[in-house]
Amino acid sequence: MNWNRALLTDSGGFQMVSLLKLAQITEEGVKFQSPHDGTEMLLTPERSIEIQNSIGADIIMQLDDVVHSTTTGPRVEEAMYRSIRWLDRCLEAHKRSHDQNLFPIVQGGLNPELRKICAIEMTKRDVPGFAIGGLSGGEEKSHFWRMVTLSTDHLPRDKPIYLMGVGFAVDLVVCVALGCDMFDCVFPTRTARFGSALVPTGQLHLKNKEFSCDFGPIDDTCPCSTCKTFTRAYMHTIVTVQSTSCSLLTIHNVTYQLRLMRSIQESIIANRFPQFIQKFMETMYADRQYPQWAVEALQSVNVTLCLR
């Protein structure tokens, strides 16, 4: 790959609920049909770790039993306890602990007690960091943030916490305030395919006619190669039409996300994170009609947004 920077690989657990058809989950592992030829395949915790060891990523994930975030009932408890058992199997199978960091994944759906049990149990293992999984799957934001903060409250503060599947700008800012350090999401690349550019005020839907004669860059403060080279008007002519536009907008959107996280980090180091949050929210919501869930989440960590 010639990528001399950090790499993270996932275990395949998310695909249980997002992509795979005819998957059968047992204590042994996950049986599913190959997307290539339809043959039956089995992914076990041991096999998942073996694959990730061979890839050699810096951070690797346990295989967990994932259920949709809105699932309720005994299946959620079953998946949570199985994830704990599978964690132990992953740790036993891990052959490169000297140069690869294996993260457990806290599960429990939207059930506070199950999430608490899972977090407490997983912290008993000697691991370098933790992930929070099973969220950002369509649940109400009021439930989402409460599960995030409940999880971070029961995880060590001296180890990195990775919130999986979260990528909206507001979510990133709020969840850093709630104690999360790392994130991943398809959002910046997926939204690029639909012709949307991420900017400090939200999104620009470049397919809209208003951009047909706009000869400025997507964001005049952005240093990415797309903003330095192409105008909004040019992008308007190619988005959703030429595949090149996906790459160009992806470059910009990923740059936006990286700059946002870098700004968050710098404000924390400078002990100005609350002020950063206020400015970020005022820019994103010029009318100061902030999402109620974000207001409540920030208030829970003593950050009060100015509403005037």
pLDDT value for 35: 73
Q: Which residue has the higher pLDDT, 12 or 169?
A: 169
Would you place residue 19 in the very low, low, confident or very high pLDDT band (cuts 50, 70, 90)? low
What single DSSP character describes residue 186? S
Instruction: Judge whether 153 counts as a catalytic residue.
Output: no
pLDDT value for 20: 60
Q: Among the options 10, 64, 65, 171, which is catalytic?
A: 10
Residue among 59, 52, 50 nearest 6 (CA): 59
pLDDT value for 124: 98
Is residue 48 within 8 Å of 63, Cβ to Cβ?
yes
CA dist 196 → 169, 223, 226, 254 (Å): 14, 18, 13, 12
Instruction: Judge whether 181 counts as a catalytic residue.
Output: no
Residue 30 host element (H or E)? strand 30-33
What does the pLDDT average to over 181-187? 96
pLDDT value for 214: 98
pLDDT tens digits, 68-115: 888 899 999 999 999 999 999 999 999 999 999 999 999 999 999 999
Quote the pTM value.
0.94
3-class DSSP state for residue 232?
helix
pLDDT value for 3: 87
pLDDT value for 90: 98
Exposure on the CB side of residue 284, measured as CA atoms within 13 A: 19
What does the pLDDT average to over 22-43? 85
Would you place residue 306 in the very low, low, confident or very high pLDDT band (cuts 50, 70, 90)? confident
pLDDT value for 16: 67
What does the pLDDT average to over 51-58? 96
* Residue 47 Cα to chain centre, angstroms: 24
Q: Among the options 64, 88, 184, 219, which is catalytic?
A: 184
pLDDT tens digits, 124-146: 999 999 999 999 888 999 999 99
pLDDT value for 31: 87
Given a cut of 80, whether residue 65 has pLDDT beyond it is yes
* Residue 61 Cα to chain centre, angstroms: 14
**What average pLDDT is seen over the chain?**
95
Query: Pairing state of beta strands 30-33 and 40-43?
Result: antiparallel
Phi, psi torsion values for 66, nearest 5 degrees: -100, 135
User: Distance between CA atoms of 111 and 109, rounded to whole angstroms?
Assistant: 5
User: Distance between CA atoms of 33 and 21, rounded to whole angstroms?
Assistant: 7
User: Distance between CA atoms of 12 and 66, rounded to whole angstroms?
Assistant: 10
User: Distance between CA atoms of 247 and 254, rounded to whole angstroms?
Assistant: 10
pLDDT value for 88: 98
Residue among 161, 167, 165 nearest 254 (CA): 167
3-class DSSP state for residue 115?
helix
Lowest mean pLDDT among 14-28, 36-50, 230-244, 289-303: 14-28
Structure tokens at 136: 């950002």
Provide the total of helices (H) and of strands (E) in the chain, helices listed first: 12, 12
pLDDT value for 225: 98
